[in-house]
């Protein structure tokens, strides 16, 4: 699968199905600018110390990976860089379909 197809399948198509495209699932003027920057060459083994969850562990801990996110941007703001969460609690926003409250 090409990277372009992967992006369409994992971003654009779900946003269309949820009725939030092009605000979500698209990088263009008037969209929210939500995206992740990946290092496709990174390799390692996931550990519980690397995950940010309420329970502090992941069922994927111990599994080897190839490729990992190095930056996450939400609504144009960097919220994770090099494995460190920089976003602020409470900054999230409820996602609704257009026209719904």
Full pLDDT tens readout for the chain, 101 residues: 898 898 899 999 999 999 999 999 998 899 998 999 999 999 999 999 988 888 999 999 999 999 999 999 999 899 999 989 999 888 888 888 765 54
Cα distance from N-terminal residue to C-terminal residue, the chain: 37
Residue 6 domain-assigned?
Answer: yes
* Domain housing 15: 1-30
In a domain, 17, yes or no: yes
Q: How many domains does the chain have?
A: 1
Report pTM.
Answer: 0.78
C-alpha to C-alpha distance for 74 and 91, rounded to whole angstroms: 10
């Amino acid at each position: 699968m090409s990277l372009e197809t992967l992006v369409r399948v994992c971003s654009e198509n779900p946003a269309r199905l949820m009725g939030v495209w092009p605000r979500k699932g698209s990088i263009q003027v008037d969209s929210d600018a939500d995206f992740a920057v990946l290092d496709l060459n990174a390799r390692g083994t996931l550990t519980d110390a690397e995950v940010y969850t309420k329970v502090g562990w992941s069922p994927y801990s111990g599994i080897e990976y190839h490729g990992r996110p190095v930056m996450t941007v939400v609504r144009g703001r960097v919220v994770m860089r090099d494995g460190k969460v920089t976003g602020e609690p409470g900054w999230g926003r409820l996602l609704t379909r257009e026209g719904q409250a």
